[in-house]
Copies of this chain bind each other. A is one copy, B any other.
Amino acid sequence: MDPRSTFKKLLPAAAFVAALAVMPGLQSCSKTDNKAAGGSSSSALSSDAASAVYVAPGKHDEYYSFLSGGFSGQVAVYGLPSGRLLKVIPVFSQNPENGYGYNENTKPMLNTSFGFVPWDDLHHPKLSRANETTDGRWLFVNGNNTPRIARIDLKTFETVEIVEIPNSAGNHCSPYPTNNNEYVVAGTRFSVPVTAEGKLQDISLKEYKDKFRGTISFLKVDKDHGDMNLDFQIMVPGFDYDLANGGKGPSSDWIFFTSYNTEKAGTLKEVGASQNDKDYLLCVNWKLAAKYAAEGKAREIPANYAHNKMNHETNQATSTMKKTVRILLPEECPDMLYLVPVPKSPHGVDVDPSGENIVISGKLASVIPVHSFSKMQTAIKNKDYIGDINGIPVLKYESVLRAEVKEPGLGPLHTEFDGKGNAYSSMFVSSEVVKWSLKDFKVKDRIPVYYSIGHLLIPGGDTKDPSSKYLLAMNKITKDRYLPTGPELAQAGQLIDISGEKMKMLLDFPLIGEPHYAQAIAAEKIAPNSAKMYKLDANKNQYATRKEGDTKVVKNGNRIDVYMTAIRSHLTPDNIEGIEVGNEVYFHVTNLEQDWDVPHGFAVMGAQNAELLIMPGATNTFKWVPTKTGVFPFYCTDFCSALHQEMQGYARVSAKGSNVPIAFSTGEKRKAPSQP
């Protein structure tokens, strides 16, 4: 099956054929090993590739990679080069497996101005930076659907902070850390009805063209602890904004956003947003913007957004609603924003390690334009404008353009760099990775990928300091690449060796969720700092029980608090009576273990809840509102020892008002009730 057949309808037939015609090598190239179970790649090459990606039992991968889950809402951590899935980090979606978003500790993390939202669409992980390169401390990720930015702590591999973004809808071009982590920047994809006074709440969609605007948000990052704070926003024209990336070196003060639908088509954007020959690159001098904001140029307008934090000393998240946001208007802030024309409907924008070349991928374009930062500065100095939009000067395309990469392939989306003067662009429609030179802007190599590549990654490939060993292609469509699994198929990762002149395909492995962007980092930047457990002594959870003798059951009106401990191989207490239908029963379970990799689980039969998975030294809280009378077991769900199957108790639930006294036991002692 020809992978391109799926996409023929995307482009007018003539354009498609014309575009294919410029790539004579591609058709045969695509067919080389596009055959399931029985392709005929040379076995010597295959054995080389096998050895290159094989990580022998007990050895470790060289890189951590952090792949966005896309519509899973989570982050997947894969080891490279093995392609082994090391962990799924729950971020924006509930995770029944470990109780994230179900237990009382983490539920506040998913609070928003809309209430509890159990899902999001996570697209772009970005590692924190120091000294202009990745430092392995935190990972920032965006929630696209209900705009949010999350921060993951790479000591614990847990989500520790989520900030909702007001005046945004489709938080897609997000989150982009500046070069030294001063800010994480987030742009809205869909424009929204926002004014200098605040957001318009109920407005007819007929007013789209006139009343909808975009916004870009700047979250200040605490340099020691990583805590984020929405410092200010900038109001921008009512386009759709797609992707962004910060400058580096000479362009460090700048961040660049691609926009599309500059036509402001309010319906059937598939057609309406592809009318203009050019859309725009929005260039933001973030340092100047921060200065304007600091000088009081920002207006404070009403807003309503959640700021959620996980405290690892208490293992308890809290959610706070913020009520205002500061916004800068371009017309009041000269020199802060510029627009540069780019070929229609651009997607990715990527800045090369030198900070000079700004690569624009236009998914419908037949070339890859490369803009020059220094030429842009000259054009600004010379006021080489062709007009303005909402008071923002529009620079002349030719004055900023450095070069166009010719005949790159079909549907360029994203570009990463290898630090040896090469760029690698993903071609969605023609399903290939294309390597080209930053010296002469000529294509040097191309390799087919299966199928429909979106993002690609090189470790550090978006920094000034890329590795030049591996490239990971993340492909949207797999069709016949793996054993079939019914109508729903995995997406595909393909690991490519980029150390030589020619790219070499090493490994093809399925991915979970829908990966968009991803980042990778050398293992030694993270592994030595990884936490093994929580210290029981330092557990400040208000419901923690640090020794078995302190366990108790406390009834107070309709609420029952069970202070429980778990240690191999019993739960204390293990039999509880005195619960009535409709009571709110909170099991506060402390894992007393102080050894690596000995979590305990906790579940109650029939609870309308997931389980707890409690790490050593931590306390987690499970809420249960029994719906019927009976005796219901609870037990450890994580096989923890040879006596794990014995780690169990029962809860008796009596009818409302039956007044069975509170009683509980472990071993033969049956204790009297504690009363508050």
Specify which of B39, B112, B570, B655 is in contact with A59 (CB 8 Å cutoff).
B39
Q: In residues 596-635 of chain A, which contact B (Cβ within 8 Å)?
A: 596-599, 601, 603-611, 613, 615-616, 618, 627-633, 635
- CB-CB under 8 A for A268 and B574, given A57-B505, A483-B523, A606-B146: yes
Q: List 9 A-B pairs, minimum CB-CB distance, nearest first.
A: A50-B54, A57-B508, A114-B606, A157-B486, A484-B530, A93-B96, A119-B610, A269-B646, A37-B60
Indicate if the CB atoms of A613 and B488 lie closer than 8 Å. Answer: yes
Indicate if the CB atoms of B10 and A36 lie closer than 8 Å. Answer: no
Indicate whether A79 reaches chain B with its CB closer than 8 angstroms. yes
Give, as a whole number of angstroms, the nearest-CB distance from A491 to chain B.
9
Q: CA separation between A501 and B201, bound complex, in Å?
A: 74
Give, as a whole number of angstroms, the nearest-CB distance from A32 to chain B.
9
Q: Which chain B residues lie closer than 8 Å to A85 at the CB level?
A: 85, 490, 510, 512
* Tally of this chain's copies: 2
Q: CA separation between A71 and B638, bound complex, in Å?
A: 7
Indicate if the CB atoms of B648 and A269 lie closer than 8 Å. Answer: yes
The CB with the most chain B CB atoms within 10 A, among A77, A240, A632, A646, is that of A646
Indicate if the CB atoms of A96 and B118 lie closer than 8 Å. Answer: yes
Indicate if the CB atoms of A270 and B569 lie closer than 8 Å. Answer: yes
Sample (10) of A-B pairs whose CB atoms are under 8 Å apart: A39-B58, A41-B58, A47-B54, A49-B56, A71-B97, A145-B604, A145-B605, A268-B668, A428-B642, A483-B527
Q: CA separation between A325 and B274, bound complex, in Å?
A: 63
Q: CA separation between A188 and B82, bound complex, in Å?
A: 41
Q: CA separation between A454 and B639, bound complex, in Å?
A: 8
Chain A 235-276: CB-based contact to B (< 8 A → 1; otherwise 0):
000001010000000000000000011000011111101100
Q: Which chain B residues lie closer than 8 Å to A118 at the CB level?
A: 96, 102, 608-610
Binds B, one of A316-324, A351-359, A369-377, A473-481: A473-481
Q: CA separation between A68 and B577, bound complex, in Å?
A: 33
Q: Which chain B residues lie closer than 8 Å to A516 at the CB level?
A: 639
Q: In residues 560-583 of chain A, which contact B (Cβ within 8 Å)?
A: 568-570, 574-575, 577
Could you list 18 further interchain pairs (A-B, Cβ under 8 angstroms) beyond the known A118-B609, A202-B654, A267-B667? A6-B595, A10-B643, A50-B53, A102-B118, A119-B603, A121-B601, A145-B603, A155-B486, A156-B487, A190-B650, A201-B629, A205-B575, A267-B665, A345-B646, A476-B640, A483-B527, A488-B599, A488-B615
Indicate whether A471 reaches chain B with its CB closer than 8 angstroms. no
The CB with the most chain B CB atoms within 10 A, among A158, A268, A345, is that of A268
Indicate if the CB atoms of B483 and A190 lie closer than 8 Å. Answer: no
Give, as a whole number of angstroms, the nearest-CB distance from A63 to chain B.
9
- Please report whether the interface of chain A is mostly helix, strand, loop or mixed according to DSSP: loop
Tally of contact residues, A, Cβ under 8 A? 187
Indicate if the CB atoms of B478 and A597 lie closer than 8 Å. Answer: yes
Q: Which chain B residues lie closer than 8 Å to A53 at the CB level?
A: 50, 54
Indicate whether A69 reaches chain B with its CB closer than 8 angstroms. yes
Indicate whether A170 reaches chain B with its CB closer than 8 angstroms. yes
Binds B, one of A21-29, A434-442, A531-539: A531-539
Indicate if the CB atoms of A632 and B569 lie closer than 8 Å. Answer: no
The CB with the most chain B CB atoms within 10 A, among A37, A364, A478, A485, is that of A485
Indicate whether A385 reaches chain B with its CB closer than 8 angstroms. no
Indicate if the CB atoms of B450 and A57 lie closer than 8 Å. Answer: yes
Q: CA separation between A156 and B487, bound complex, in Å?
A: 6
Indicate if the CB atoms of A117 and B70 lie closer than 8 Å. Answer: no
Chain A 83-118: CB-based contact to B (< 8 A → 1; otherwise 0):
111111000011011100010000000001111111
